Amino acid sequence: MTFFIANWFLFAAALISGALLFGPMLTRGAGGGRVSPGEAVNLINREKGVLIDVSEPVEYAAGHAGGAKNVPFGSLESTADLPKNKAVPVLLLCPTGARAQRGVALLHKRGYENAKAVAGGIAAWREANLPIERST
């Protein structure tokens, strides 16, 4: 007990570092709910992932990730525009990433366990110098 009292700060540091290491894994789940733009590109190229922009049509037309299909957030629960194969990675994207993250939860309910949000949204996509297209 004397050792613990004399070195309480070491035990506190160990607890804090453990929480910092395992906290993100516990809050996102084992598979994680977000991927970086670079990881999204890898999933598209290696696992035939599908990129879906959940922005409203006006936002989509103003600028979207190259090759992204527009399925507005409001229609995610009922649309037939999603891949038939529910094992394929479905990568959701929106201007900030907030709607995409909520969309992941909706797709998980529909059986798309490989659904992930692109962290940071279109802004992060643009910052990673990935292609942006505009609709006319």
Using CA atoms, how far apart are residues 54 and 51, in angstroms rounded to an integer? Answer: 10
Q: Over range 96-108, report the average pLDDT.
A: 92
CB 130 within 8 A of CB 37: yes
In tens, the pLDDT along 11-69 reads: 788 788 777 776 655 544 444 588 999 999 999 999 999 999 999 999 999 999 999 99
Range of the domain at 22: 1-29
Task: Give the CATH number, domain containing residue 106.
Answer: 3.40.250.10
Domain count, the chain: 2
SS3 of 59, please? Answer: helix
pLDDT at 31: 45
Give the β-pairing of 115-118 and 34-35: parallel
Q: Are residues 114 and 80 in the same domain?
A: yes
pLDDT at 24: 57
- pTM equals 0.74
Q: Over range 95-112, report the average pLDDT.
A: 92
